[in-house]
Every structure is written in C-alpha cells, then in structure tokens.
C-alpha cells in the first residue's frame, strides 16, 4: 500500500510539473505581452521599462526557473492589469464559484446515482428507458443552451427568477440547475452501466441462488462493486469544482473563477491564467489521488496489482 501511495504521489508531482511547464511554454511563446498591454504606439522606452520590470527581457529558461522558484515560494505573480497578486484575485472568486458548483454536485450525486441504480435494477422497464432518454438528452444539451432556455422560460416569460447577477440566493437557482442537470445525466448513465456490468457477474447469481434476499444482494454485493467506476467520475466532478462552471458563469454573469478566467484570457493577463491553470490542475490531481485511495478501500485487489503501474 505504501509503495502504491508513493508511486501515485510521484505521478501526481510529475503531472503538476507538466502542467506548470505547459502553462509557461504556451503563455510565453505565444506573443509579446508588453505590446499587448502597452498598445503598439507606446514609446519604446516605456515598453523597454515594462519588459524589464516584468522580467520579460531574460532568456526563456531563466524566466522558467524563476517561475518555478517563485511557485515553490508561494508567489504566483501579479495581475498585469491591476498589479494585485494573482493568487488573491483568484482565491477571492472561489467562494462565488463554489456557491454554484457545490449545490450542483449535490444535485448530480443525489439524482444521478439513484436514477442510474434504479434504471439498472429495472432494466428495459419504462422507467429505465425514461432515465436513459433523459440521460442522453441531459448530456447532449450544451449548458449554454439549457441555461439560455431556462432564462427564456423562467426569467423572461414567467418572470419568476432573475436572469443573471449574484445579488441573492435566488440568483443562484438557475445556474445551479443548469450545472446539475447535465452532470446528473452523465452520472446516471455511468452508474447504470456500472451496475449492469456487476449484476451480470456470476457472484450475484450465486448470492441470490443461495437464498439471500434480493435487496441484500443489491446492497451487499452489487452496490459496493458498482461504486468503483462511479467514484472515478465523481472524483472528476470534485476535481472540477473550481473551474467547472466557465460557460455557465458566463451565461449568468456570475462573478466566479470561470468569469475571471475568460476575462483574463481575453486580456492576456498571464499571471492570472497561469494561477487558475495551476489551481485547477492541483484540485484535479488531489481529487484523483483521493479517488485512488478510495479504490484501495473499495477494492482490496487493486492494492496488490496497482503497484505494478497497470492501468
């Protein structure tokens, strides 16, 4: 188990380094930020001063090492727009995003998992077909279309709910529903197929053949086994809590991390984009690590085989 943990930890660190490198290379090689921030007609001295101030004069590898060094000291750079620390700019948006993504996650798990389990237990019934059609529909309707249709119906036509902004909890209802429905559909589909696969296994048949009540078979044998693949997807959803609402935040003018990212990308605010990229990757990697640990708890077989790096 310790070796398994160490191996996963090493991989997580490699992933983080790759993400940082990717962010650095893409953002630095893509153009001259000085010209974009300063406009083309700025006097050459001003541009030179800007470049010197931000360290843009040095060779790329010097900037790269400096960047890594800074990150290890917790310094993620400053926004080129207003000079504030990027990490502060980003973290002060996190509560707003979590106010959307956490309730949405609850909806996804609260509706998606039971719906998937129910559909699998009543395979080919009317309810199963309904769940599947809803699940495919929920997956295929893009969040911005669903969001705008909800706005059209509940804000414009009926006038029940506000269409955008962040003044009260009522403003959060439509974005949370928009986020939750799609995820619930994905989760329902996934849970159903995981459940079906487990229900087809011989140990389910032998359990019910030896007279175990069906409810107990489901609870003690089917559900724990179907939980393994389902946990993977939930882990991914937990990992995207911080940046999973980019489009929805834009639709509903919600001032979260996603909005900040879109604006920062449009402004080429390098430090802020890097900071968000890094933060998202960190949450994702940590969520994946937790999922791996849960695997170990859910499935003792994996503790032995996973150390070999089998995928």
Partner 1 sequence: MVLPAATTRPRRPLAIPALVLFGIAWLVLMLLVAFSADLISPFPYTALDLRNRLAAPIGFGGPWLHPLGTDELGRDVLSRLIVSIRLSLLIAFGATLIGAFVGTSLGFLAAHFRGWVEHLVLALVDFSASLPFLILALSVLAFFGNSLTLFIVLLGFHAWERYARIARGLAISAGAQGYAAAVRQLGASPWRIYGRHVLPNIASTLIVSMTLAFPEIILLESGLSFLGLGVQPPATSLGNMVGYGREYLTRAPWILLAPAFIIVLTTFSVSLIGDWLRDRLDPTLR
Which residues would be at the binding site for partner 1 (CB under 8 A)?
Answer: 11, 14-15, 18-19, 22-23, 26-27, 30-31, 120, 123, 136-137, 139-145, 148-149, 151-152, 156, 196, 199-202, 205, 208, 214, 240, 243-244, 246-247, 250-251, 261-262, 265-266, 268, 273, 276-277, 280-281, 284-285, 288, 309, 311
Minimum CB separation from partner 1 for residue 61, in Å? Answer: 19
Whichever of 265 and 297 has its CB closer to partner 1, that residue is: 265
Q: Which is nearer to partner 1, 44 or 157 (CB)?
A: 157
Residue number with CB closer to partner 1 (49 or 208) = 208
Closest CB 266 distance from partner 1, rounded Å: 6
Residue 276 CB, nearest distance to partner 1 (Å)? 7
Q: Tokens in use for 89?
A: 């700019």
Nearest to 218 by CA among 98, 110, 120: 120
Are the C-beta atoms of residues 115 and 285 closer than 8 Å to each other? no
In whole angstroms, the minimum distance from the beta carbon of 235 to partner 1 comes to 11
Of residues 14 and 53, the one with the C-beta less far from partner 1: 14
Cβ 278 vs Cβ 23: under 8 Å: yes
Nearer to partner 1, 31 or 169 (CB): 31
> Residue 192 to residues 125, 196, 228, 231: CA-CA distances in angstroms?
13, 6, 13, 13
d(CA 301, CA 299): 5
Residue 59's CB is within 10 A of a number of other CB atoms, namely 8
Rounded to a whole number of angstroms, the distance between the first and last alpha carbons of the chain is: 16
State which residue, 55 or 213, has the beta carbon closest to partner 1.
213
Say how far apart CA 155 and CA 157 lie, in whole Å.
Answer: 6
d(CA 14, CA 9): 9
Q: Taking the complex as a whole, how short is the minimal distance between the CB of residue 287 and partner 1, in angstroms?
A: 9
If we measure between CA atoms, which residue out of 249, 203, 250, 241 comes closest to residue 222?
A: 203
Of 145 and 297, nearer to partner 1 (C-beta) is 145
Kindly give, in sequence order, each residue whose CB lies less than 8 Å from that of residue 162, ignoring residues fewer than 6 positions away.
Answer: 155, 168, 170, 171, 174
Q: How far is the CB of 191 from partner 1 (least distance, A)?
A: 15
Minimum distance of partner 1 from residue 45's CB (angstroms): 26
Q: What are phi and psi of 85, to 5 degrees?
A: -65, 130
């Amino acid at each position: 188990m310790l070796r398994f943990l160490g191996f996963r930890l090493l991989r997580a660190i490699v992933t983080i380094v790759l993400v940082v490198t990717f962010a650095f290379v893409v953002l630095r090689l893509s153009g001259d930020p000085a010209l974009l921030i300063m406009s083309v007609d700025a006097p050459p001295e001003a541009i030179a001063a800007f470049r010197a101030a931000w360290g843009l004069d040095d060779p790329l590898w010097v900037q790269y090492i400096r960047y890594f060094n800074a990150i290890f000291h917790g310094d993620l750079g400053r926004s080129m727009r207003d000079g504030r620390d990027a990490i502060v700019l980003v973290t002060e948006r996190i509560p707003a995003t979590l106010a959307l993504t956490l309730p949405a996650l609850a909806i996804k798990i609260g509706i998606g998992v039971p719906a998937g389990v129910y559909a699998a237990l009543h395979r080919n019934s009317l309810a199963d077909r309904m769940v599947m059609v809803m699940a495919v529909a929920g997956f295929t309707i893009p969040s911005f279309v669903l969001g705008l249709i909800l706005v059209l119906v509940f804000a414009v036509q009926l006038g029940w709910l506000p269409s955008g902004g962040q003044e009260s909890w009522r403003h959060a209802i439509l974005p949370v529903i928009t986020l939750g429905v799609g995820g619930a559909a994905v989760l329902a589909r996934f849970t159903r197929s995981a459940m079906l696969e487990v229900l087809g296994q011989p140990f389910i048949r032998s359990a019910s053949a030896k007279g175990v009540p069906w409810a107990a078979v489901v609870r003690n044998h089917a559900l724990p086994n179907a939980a393994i693949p389902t946990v993977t997807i939930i882990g991914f959803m937990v990992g995207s809590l911080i940046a999973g609402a980019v489009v929805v935040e834009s639709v509903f003018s919600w001032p979260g991390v996603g909005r900040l990212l879109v604006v920062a990308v449009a402004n080429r605010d390098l430090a802020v984009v890097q900071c968000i990229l890094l933060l998202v990757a960190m949450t994702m990697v940590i969520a994946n690590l937790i999922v791996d640990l849960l695997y170990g708890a859910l499935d003792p077989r994996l503790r032995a085989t996973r150390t070999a790096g089998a995928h």
